[in-house]
């Protein structure tokens, strides 16, 4: 990654370093128990210490942002990612998620042994019907707010700088195109000022969900719902300029998205 960064800076007229993001779920070089096992320790100080060591090792390898913690609430053992969350209990999930965020960021993101956190997957990814990954989620607002949302909020309160929308639909609306989740709750209610990054190819998958006819419409939906970074699909790269010319999004909105990423890079000492 360090070699890639050097090559990038040589060719970038603005000399703005790239962000390298990685899943460092339960250790980088030194491997700890899976998050579900860490949760079984009931020891948030130990979990924070493990996260601190993982951050030191990953940062030394050139990583800046960790796609963790994953704090999806789940009580269905059939779900294939249940081992990546710390608990089936909302309160413990809040405590352990916050401990991980604090461990990754250490004394501050401007130090060279820390990581920014990207909490995931927002929201209710662990509530998939029949425990089938990517499957639809149907929840009342009461159940969503009482059991599923608190851990994401606890991680944001602990200092998480990024959040990742989930693959699933929530009550018929895909999270990547869910303005109620990403604008009303995340920004208006919680005051989140960080970066929203889509999950892997999630913008393109809005077509699979049936809410977008093509990549251009998917990009418009995702951007207007508050996703700042398009992971993998390249639909932003292909269509945002065209959407600006058509008046469907504004340059000011793009500037705002870019500024959020630049502020994160500044926090990280880049």
Q: pLDDT tens digits, residue range 88-138? A: 999 999 999 999 999 999 999 999 999 999 999 999 999 999 999 999 999
Is position 110 annotated as part of the catalytic site? no
Q: pLDDT tens digits, residue range 136-166? A: 999 999 999 999 999 999 999 999 999 999 9
Percentage above 70 pLDDT, the chain: 100
Q: pLDDT tens digits, residue range 239-248? A: 999 999 999 9
Which of 72, 161, 199, 230 is catalytic? The answer is 199
Does the structure show a pLDDT above 80 at 2?
A: no
Q: Beta partners for 106?
A: none
Looking at residue 3, its pLDDT comes to 87
């Amino acid at each position: 990654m360090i070699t890639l960064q050097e090559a990038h800076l040589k060719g970038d007229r603005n000399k703005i370093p790239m962000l390298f993001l990685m899943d460092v779920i339960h250790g980088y070089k030194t491997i700890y128990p899976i998050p579900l096992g860490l949760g079984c320790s009931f020891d948030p100080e130990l979990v924070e210490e493990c996260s601190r060591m993982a951050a030191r090792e990953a940062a030394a390898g050139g990583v800046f942002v960790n796609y963790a913690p994953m704090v999806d609430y789940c009580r269905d053992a059939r779900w294939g990612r249940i081992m990546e969350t710390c608990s089936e209990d909302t309160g413990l999930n809040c405590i352990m998620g916050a401990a991980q965020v604090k461990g990754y960021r250490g004394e501050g993101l401007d130090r060279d042994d820390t990581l920014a956190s990207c909490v995931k997957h927002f929201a209710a990814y662990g509530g998939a019907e029949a425990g089938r990954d990517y499957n639809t989620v149907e929840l009342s607002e009461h159940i969503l707010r009482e059991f599923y949302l608190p851990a994401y909020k606890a991680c944001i309160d602990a200092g998480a700088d990024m959040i990742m929308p989930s693959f699933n639909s929530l009550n018929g609306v895909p999270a990547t195109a869910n303005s109620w989740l990403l604008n009303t709750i995340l920004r208006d209610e919680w005051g989140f000022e960080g970066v929203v990054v889509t999950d892997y190819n999630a913008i393109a998958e809005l077509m699979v969900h049936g809410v977008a006819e093509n990549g251009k419409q998917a990009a418009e939906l995702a951007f207007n719902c508050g996703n700042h970074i398009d992971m993998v699909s390249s639909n932003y790269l292909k269509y945002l300029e065209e959407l600006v010319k058509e008046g469907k999004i504004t340059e000011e909105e793009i500037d705002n998205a870019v500024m959020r990423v630049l502020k994160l890079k500044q926090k990280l000492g880049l």
